[in-house]
Structure 1
């Protein structure tokens, strides 16, 4: 039997770009590059659930397109160790089974995640030195050193016979980054001189004028800020921001305080950073338990939860639900991060709980306690001046960020800019870039121990239940369809006493009427009865409550 050729197999004389996550959104990055029958994946990250996803903490890009072609997937390159770039590897790699390329620090963080997932030693991780050059299938690859809020971030130059594609990953220009090297301007200029066909570039701050700022400014500000307080200081930041951890440690030491880490992810990153030499000279951190024995004016607590995550250390502290850490009136919490769009309400909840307890709050609106890890407009302009691409492809941003970035590229005299959407296959070369096809893309979620589509039946039902409640109707019928006893209706998340008895009585009556008015033959059909009862229950509660609950019907037939 002749095999059916893959209609999406990339041509030998073309280069394709296919984002399955991270285009039109911040987070969940997954990019594919296609050439000569092979695919290269760049990053595989997560996003986080919100109020519209009950019971869901982690959201993943759907890798189905790549999974179906995994025999032609030559590798996964990780640009850096942030969750939105590597967080899905531990969940999705078993479906991909490809080599993973990463710098030593990123590999250390990934290995710790794989151990937790029971995948220790199974993943083929190939460590590449920062600024290293290597090959994967038909792709000639080179890492270019950049600065970001995590050690060893890299841009990726993808060389093909049809031109070079520069995938920036997350980056910024920081003359004094505290941890790690500065962005390798010379390497980018050299690449620009060689010729760059397309620049696939970070758009997070494309609407922000000026410069993103330097980590050394944050450190100096924290030194002064810590000196103002006489009680406990707690500070929340992204766990992977090793430069911020070092800045906090130096500011604490300058004020004769010890630093305690509160949250498992902080300890995991601490171990990876120290094993790769990024916290040399920093005193060992104190455990959260030992921190309770230190005087109030001698401790700085670093806690996870800057985005208001409900299970994070800071959220539990704010709710007075942490087993080791308590904050009291006169203590201060510093939010040393930016709000990721969509997290404002969650962050507000945590901050309000802290304020209610008499804890002072300091944010980036009040003091210099955070700088972004992404390039503002002046930095983007410099990148375009160095690289001089023929094509701009903005990614890593919402639609408004991508559009603003595309306009900036045009202002920088880039010949063409194309704004991608997840699932759009774009031919980058040869000729002008264009969308040539659209493939399936979507979202998966971690639901307990399962990975399921976000739009799966169970998730849709849970969503409906969250907004409309649920009802269960139970009825017992004889073989001819007659009611043996009164039907029963139970509800969850729909009624409060005292209206409950009246509404339930109305619903029960509606069920009885629905059954008794059915034709005799139809009453012998279980599915027809269930459907009629389901409709009756929903109509009854819609009339009494203005809600159409998710309704299940339990039907029992007895007798022969």
Structure 2
């Protein structure tokens, strides 16, 4: 085996400069394993995008011996359907609920993934992968059941990946974080720890999920209208808190949101969720007193066409806000989504809703480790090296500062961003190596990876000042002169229709001024015998732009279509 094969290589493909899109490669010799494969919600500037997935081009022709899943949230499993199209024979490993959620997700693609096998592992079970890897799941607390960290035994030492975790000493279930197992590995010696960074800037220990339940129960005694509670579809423990609060207050539960209905059905069937037989169909809620209804809904991030967004827009089929209805946010806002969520909240206020939770912390506690949770994890595991994962740059840097300031802990941190490579050689020396080239893969409808960053600038320009399409026709008449006709149509640029006669007159005046300016530019070109299509298009575009800026100070995106008859034959070729 050569020197290169005696190295461990750690390569994050996503999740280490953003919240979401978590995916990490661990490579040794000619084998590699992958931890998680999630998507990321689009950021505010990614106009029109459904979501973003990791670039897996590095993995082409590699010997992938397993995809390991830490839990069932979308930022950890959401990109798997796309991943499987390129790597259909991959073996996937996860806990019971994670496997069930992934199977349900794959079923949305009809029969495309019917032969995919997902291997279920229980915490503390070990399994050998290939020649060089052995993995063991370690139970952690998170906002979804069956979350795990992963201990990975390699020829050079043990690597631990925490997954998303918190230390909850009083959870609402009997599933506790396995601190004993983390400590056991710490005693054996851990080469590298990859740990959750999301809440490392929060002081103290994370707040227990049981605190939320004690807050929600009295809140659900509300009697002045319907309660609408927004929650992540896969946050099963939070959903249980909400259902229990409804049960205690003698209320009925209804669900709105396809993913919410799907995941709660799975969780109930598998024994992770107790619905107490109080669920009613959403199309039957009018048969019950309004104050007896609690509607659990998706849309905490203001996603277009999510249930809560439709409710806020007044276009939901079954739920219409009435004065006195109470909307509860039992979730946090993912960084980057603040603007759309704020807009949705304002719409709900306009409809007469009473809002609770957008600023009341005890209706939501995070599933991620705060600073003291992290300190305890490092004291137990005592790694030689560590890499902060799952966070934006500010989280990763704060994570390194937090750990390197711990007294008596001899560990070295490495700051990696997507595509960076950490190598650990046979002497256990670690260094950053040459990064790999990766890019964001944008999913837009059925298009996957066919968009580049530059398109967002174009879409932003269209959204700011609209678009003007100019149609130019130039024909030579029987006298040998040129007849020129120019017309323009616009969208999102100027006032188009309505009862305001003054605005309509200004619109017509602007259109006329623009056309006249473009006409003069074309005439000058023809007099100078400058008849190439590219030159004519450019001058029309510039004439319109200058006139619009002069009159109203706005600059739309301008497209010019051109038809030329009886102009130099070689110039016509440019139109083809």
When the two structures are superposed, what TM-score results if normalisation uses the length of structure 1? Answer: 0.91
CA deviation after TM superposition for structure 1 residue 414, in Å: 4.1
Which residue, 410, 419, 422 being the options, matches 1:423? 419
Correspondences of 1:220-231 after superposition (within 5 Å): 220-231=214-225
Query: Which has more radius of gyration?
Result: 2
- Say if 1:54 and 1:466, in contact at 8 Å, map to a contact too: no
Q: 3-state SS of the aligned residue for 1:486?
A: strand
Change (3 A) 1:549 1:297: closer
Contact 1:203 1:401 in 2 (8 A): yes
1:133 match: 126
1:53 aligns with 2:50: no
The residue number in structure 2 matching 1:400 is 394
Asked if the contact 2:150–2:161 (Cα under 8 Å) also holds between the matched residues in 1, the reply is yes
When the two chains are superposed, the root-mean-square deviation of aligned CA atoms in Å is 2.5
1:452 correspondence with 2:459: no
Correspondence for 1:106 among 79, 95, 98 = 98
Deviations 1:157-211 (A, max 9, x none): 2221112211111011112322461111111111111211111111111000112
Q: What aligned pairs does 1:83-482 form with structure 2 within 5 A after superposition? A: 83-97=74-88, 98-118=90-110, 119-137=112-130, 138-179=132-173, 181-280=175-274, 282-283=276-277, 285-363=279-357, 365-366=359-360, 368-412=362-406, 413-429=409-425, 431-455=428-452, 458-478=455-475
Aligned partners of 2:24, 2:338: CA distance in 1, in Å?
28
Q: Whole-Å Cα distance in 2 between the matches of residues 170 and 284 of structure 1?
A: 32
Q: Which residue of 2 aligns with 1:12?
A: 5
User: Tell me, what secondary structure is at the counterpart of 1:495?
Assistant: coil
Say whether the 8 Å CA contact 2:44–2:336 is kept in structure 1. no
Count of aligned positions: 550
1:75 and 2:66 matched: yes
* Cα distance in 1, alignment partners of residues 368 and 175 from structure 2: 16
Q: Is the 8 A contact 1:212 1:374 kept in 2?
A: yes
CA distance, structure 2, for counterparts of residue 372 and residue 327 of structure 1 = 28
- 1:362 CA drift (Å): 1.2
Q: Deviations over 1:415-444 (max 9, x none)?
A: 211111112122244544332122222222
**Match of residue 3 from structure 1:** none
Q: Which residue is 1:499 aligned to? A: 506
Tell me how far apart the structure 1 counterparts of residues 91 and 488 of structure 2 sit (CA, whole Å): 55
Mark the CA change 1:214 to 1:491 in structure 2 (over 3 Å): closer, same or farther: same
3-state SS, counterpart of residue 525 of structure 2:
coil
Report SS of the residue matched to 1:24: coil
CA contact (8 A) 1:178 1:246 kept: no
* In structure 2, C-alpha distance between the alignment counterparts of 1:11 and 1:284, rounded to whole Å: 60
Post-superposition Cα deviations, 1:257-299, rounded to whole Å, max 9, x if no partner, equal 1111111111111122123221247336222112232212322
Cα distance in 1 for partners of 2:128, 2:523 equals 73
* Contact 2:45 2:456 (C-alpha < 8 Å) held by counterparts: no
Say whether the 8 Å CA contact 1:476–1:556 is kept in structure 2: yes
* Aligned counterparts of 2:473 and 2:252: Cα–Cα separation in 1: 68
Once residues 404 and 504 of structure 1 are traced to their aligned partners in structure 2, the CA distance between those partners, rounded to angstroms, is 55
C-alpha contact 2:476 2:483 (8 A) present in aligned 1: no
CA contact (8 A) 2:36 2:67 kept: yes
Q: Distance in 2 between matches of 1:323 and 1:532?
A: 51
- Give, in whole Å, the separation in 1 of the partners of 2:361 and 2:164: 25
Gaps of 5+ in 2: 496-502, 570-576
Cα gap change, 1:239 to 1:411, in 2 (>3 Å): same
Segment drifting more, 475-484 vs 242-251: 475-484
Deviation of the 1:459 alpha carbon: 4.4
> Which whole-Å CA distance do the structure 2 matches of 1:411 and 1:379 have between them?
15
Do 1:151 and 1:179's aligned partners in 2 also have CA atoms closer than 8 Å?
no
Find the aligned partners of 2:207 and 2:198 in 1 and give their Cα distance.
15
- Compute the TM-score of the two structures, normalised by the length of structure 2: 0.89
